[in-house]
Amino acid sequence: MTTIAPAAPARRDVSPARHWRWTQPGLLLTGGALVLLIDPGPFDLRVITLVVAYAVAATGFNVLVGFAGIVSIGNSVFLAAGGYAWALLATSYGPLVALLAGVVLAAVIAALAGVLLLRLRAYYFAVATLALGTLGTVVVRNWTAVTNGDAGITNVGYIKVFGLSGVPSIFVAAVVLLALVSFLQEALRTSPVGQAMIIGRYDPPAAEGIGVSVAYTRVVAFVLSAVTAALGGALIAQLAGGAFPDQFATTSAISLLVIPIIAGRGWRWAPLVGAAIVIALPEYLRFLAEYRLVVYGAAVVLVALFLPGGVHQVVRAVAERLGRSRG
């Protein structure tokens, strides 16, 4: 046997699988507290809160595209489910009911759509979800009895925590939610369910060969992406002071898709880093005036083509370089 494993170097574990699970939530909460202490001013805080809200929404999407390898361009539907559920229910039934209702609605839509559509091949599924998103927008615009059409629903209130009010309160709620979903994301990744997703994406026949139901794991991943999207949608509605069709149109679905990919699919920091790039960067590129979306679009193309691992790839390369020079 020694011929196979000759004089192995000191034992090591390259797999990042065993992070201490509370590291990331702890860092997030600490970071959130620091932001409140620094008190960055209303505009910046609003942008940062929007970033965190999108990070919450994109966490499930990170699971979908990073673990299960599924691309959806229709997750705006789930944002809308969360946002409108909040807008309709929060003031009369309280924040918990509103959040839960949005989550349940999104999960049910995702489960139904997933069962029907997830047997499609990659591009077919992507375009089918694009159609789903378009359909969602049409419904939101035209079902005026419930959604009030293009005018949207205003005066939707916001979640009040720790005696705070206004944007800081939404910010804290968003950070707490992000810490929670990040914890769950990491727990999922090291659990049999998450591992089944990853092997099912990497090699479906091999996954089936060890008893994994690939179809089931795909639907589960899609439902999870819907759940966090609904949470994010509720936060976005609170921040905007209302639910409007334009917030939840195809562009937001594309943002959700770009976030994990540009930051590095499946990386546990991808939702936050990606949201910072996708949401905050265009805000701070305003000096480029009309060209900022050109720069943004070109950046997305270049990352997609030449840096498929996203920011994570850079981070890993730098870490490796540092590790090598040290030892």
> Which residues from 198-227 bind other proteins, rule CB under 8 A?
198-199, 201-215, 218
Determine contact, residues 109/226, Cβ cutoff 8 Å: yes
Between 90 and 140, whose beta carbon lies closer to other proteins?
A: 140
Between 117 and 159, whose beta carbon lies closer to other proteins?
A: 117
The CA distance from 242 to 149, in Å, is 12
Nearest CA among 44, 271, 28, 274 for reference residue 173: 28
Q: Phi first, then psi: what are they for 59, rounded to 5°?
A: -60, -45
Q: How near is the Cβ of 169 to other proteins at its closest, in Å? A: 27
Determine contact, residues 231/52, Cβ cutoff 8 Å: no
Between 45 and 221, whose beta carbon lies closer to other proteins?
A: 221
Radius of gyration of the CA atoms of the chain, in A: 20
CA distances for 3 relative to 6, 7, 9, 10, 157, angstroms? 6, 9, 15, 17, 68
Determine contact, residues 65/224, Cβ cutoff 8 Å: no
- Footprint on residues 65-104 left by other proteins (CB under 8 A): 65, 69, 71, 73
265 binds other proteins (CB under 8 A): yes
The binder of other proteins chosen from 174, 257, 276, 311 (CB under 8 A): 257
23 binds other proteins (CB under 8 A): no
195 binds other proteins (CB under 8 A): yes
x/- site string to other proteins, residues 119 to 138, per CB under 8 A? xxxxxx-xxx-xxx-xx--x
β-strand pairing of 242-243 with 153-154: antiparallel
321 binds other proteins (CB under 8 A): no
Q: How near is the Cβ of 277 to other proteins at its closest, in Å? A: 12
Continuous segment of H or E residues that includes residue 243: strand 242-243
Q: How near is the Cβ of 45 to other proteins at its closest, in Å? A: 27
291 binds other proteins (CB under 8 A): yes
308 binds other proteins (CB under 8 A): yes
3 binds other proteins (CB under 8 A): yes
